[in-house]
Structure 1
Amino acid sequence: MQQEMTSGDVDDRPAEFVEALAKGLAILECFDATHAEMTLSEVARRVGLSPAAARRSLITLQTLGYVGQKDKRFHLRPKIMTLSSSFYFSTRIEEVLQPNLRALVEQWGDASSIGTLDGDDVIYIAHVSVQRARRAAAVIGARYPACATSLGRVLLAGLPDAALDRYIAHVRPAALTSKSITDPKLLRVEIMDVRDAGYSTTVDQLDYGITALAVPIRDIEGRTIAALNTSGYTGKVTPETLVTERLPALREAASNIAHEIARYPILQTIIGTRPR
């Protein structure tokens, strides 16, 4: 989810913080499916920069090959994919995480994902799917509001109480569908229920047509470092059938993944949840 550059966290920034680099990264993140091409003023407005500052960053990114321009509209170039591929291969996701997801999808069909928390969002770091419907994409690298996904709610339930309190205090859940929980108080109740149950089910919260079940992936000390889910089409599966038919196997897969992650300390360090 794109966020504006603000001064709200300035006091928390180290003295070595490079503002220009932060602006450039924010510009790269502001492009998405509905903003694939933008003018200079559109980029500046989405990132919360002055046109002059946005122009300097865009020219730098263009010179480096990450951004292209046609007429007066800017767009990302394929070189941007090298940034995510560096993460993908350095963390050995294909070797460590993807086989477990393939096994789950071979067993049930549908889709399976692993996500971790970054601020208020869940980021999908591994995904396998046989689904082809038009719906919110759960591809690797996608990020969505944590409160609207089964993965995100499991991750939020795994936060320490103080971190969860801070999240509930500032979150403003968007009404992504008519079933979305938008009241922070009701959201807290839901998250606490997830903490008690040890799993989360969602129906049409992020997008219509998505029913999902998620469980935590925990490190050796019992801390939630990521979450694993299985999802299907609303109408073909229900939360009750997911819990009855898939929960035991999903928990076993989460345990297997946790053991695999423990073999690669750098992977555990990288994907650990990052609350705001």
Structure 2
Amino acid sequence: MPRISRSEAEQNQADRAGPEFLEALARGLRVIQSFDRDRRQLSLSDVAKQVDLPRASVRRTLHTLVQLGFAETDGKLFRLTPRVLTLAGAYLLSNPIASILQPAIDRLSAEINASCSTAVLDGDDVVMIVHASPSRILPLSAQVGFRIPAFASSLGRVLLADLDDAGLDAFLARIQPHKLTEQTIVDKKQLWQAILKARADGYSLADQEVEVGFRSISVALKRLDGRTIAALNIGIHTERGTPEMMRQTFLPKLRSLASELQQQLI
């Protein structure tokens, strides 16, 4: 079988990872990640374009995913199947943090009748690992596995605030902020200031920066040794309350829960 030429990014990654790095697995995961809420069905050509790989390589990867039950096709378009959720399930079931957090998040959500989430930093995004919501409220921006750009979200800014100045500089240098709504902050100097404010205040509030009509407030979740491991969040529709109401009513509850959970996280 002819060797597939590496892109510059792949070559750099392989050089960093060393001889044990398995390129076929890496490419397979990239193909899975090419599907999202806006790209639920893709043709072979679509996937090849998304992952910047030769069609032959993508064809073999998609064929393998179909045979393993992680994808299906009508002969033209491919889509992921629910079996992909077993990958996320493996993380959630093997991660004791999620099992500790879910009951607490469920309790807080029921108490305040609002959406509550926990997220972790993953590259330049935050990823929801725990979520609870009143049944009549289904926000798009707070579901398990959902990814949000860290720069635009209260969750992300709380987690980025835990970086040292060099790490924060590196983050801001590599990202290309883009408008998610009219209120999204994209100026890097303003983002720096917003993250430093979150560091100083111990919380972050984002007002319709990720989703129009939706506000969120977040605090850091720390272990007993003081290390930040996740962020806790409450999100509401704008008609439900003002930013000041969120600070006065929801922030104390988030801080109380974070303090309670810290005693359980070693």
TM-score when normalising by structure 1: 0.89
Q: 8 Å contact 2:110–2:134 — kept in the other structure?
A: no
Matched, 1:239 2:243: yes
Report which of the two structures shows the higher radius of gyration computed on alpha carbons. 2
Moved over 6 A (4+): none
Task: Report the alpha carbon displacement of residue 133 of structure 1 after superposing the two structures with TM.
Answer: 5.6
Work out the CA distance in 2 between the residues paired with 1:5 and 1:125. Answer: 32
Task: Report the alpha carbon displacement of residue 46 of structure 1 after superposing the two structures with TM.
Answer: 1.0
Work out which of the residue numbers 255, 262, 265 in structure 2 matches 1:261. Answer: 265
> 2:3 maps to what in 1?
none
Q: 8 Å contact 2:92–2:99 — kept in the other structure?
A: no
Work out the CA distance in 1 between the residues paired with 2:135 and 2:213. Answer: 11
Q: 8 Å contact 1:122–1:146 — kept in the other structure?
A: yes
> 1:193 maps to what in 2?
197
Work out the CA distance in 1 between the residues paired with 2:25 and 2:248. Answer: 48
SS of the residue 1:235 aligns to: helix
Task: Report the alpha carbon displacement of residue 94 of structure 1 after superposing the two structures with TM.
Answer: 5.9
Q: 8 Å contact 1:135–1:209 — kept in the other structure?
A: no
Q: 8 Å contact 1:110–1:131 — kept in the other structure?
A: no
Q: 8 Å contact 1:5–1:48 — kept in the other structure?
A: no
What RMSD in Å do the two structures reach over aligned CA positions? Answer: 1.8
Work out which of the residue numbers 155, 160, 168 in structure 1 matches 2:159. Answer: 155
Q: 8 Å contact 1:93–1:126 — kept in the other structure?
A: no
TM-score when normalising by structure 2: 0.92
Matches within 5 A, 1:94-105: 95-105=99-109
> 1:184 maps to what in 2?
188
> 1:271 maps to what in 2?
none
Work out the CA distance in 2 between the residues paired with 1:180 and 1:173. Answer: 9
Work out the CA distance in 1 between the residues paired with 2:83 and 2:50. Answer: 22
Task: Map Cα deviations across residues 22-79 of structure 1 (whole Å, 9 max, x no partner).
Answer: 0000111111121111100001111121111111111111121111111211111121
Q: 8 Å contact 1:44–1:54 — kept in the other structure?
A: yes
Work out which of the residue numbers 34, 39, 51 in structure 1 matches 2:38. Answer: 34
Q: 8 Å contact 1:5–1:23 — kept in the other structure?
A: no
The verdict on how the C-alpha distance between 1:63 and 1:231 changes in structure 2, with shifts beyond 3 A counting, is same
The higher relative CO (CA closer than 8 Å, separation ≥ 6) is in 1
Work out which of the residue numbers 101, 111, 117 in structure 2 matches 1:113. Answer: 117
Work out the CA distance in 1 between the residues paired with 2:122 and 2:243. Answer: 26
Unaligned runs of 5+ in 2: 1-6
Work out the CA distance in 1 between the residues paired with 2:154 and 2:207. Answer: 9
Paired residue type of 1:86: A
Percent of matched pairs sharing the same residue:
39
> 2:4 maps to what in 1?
none
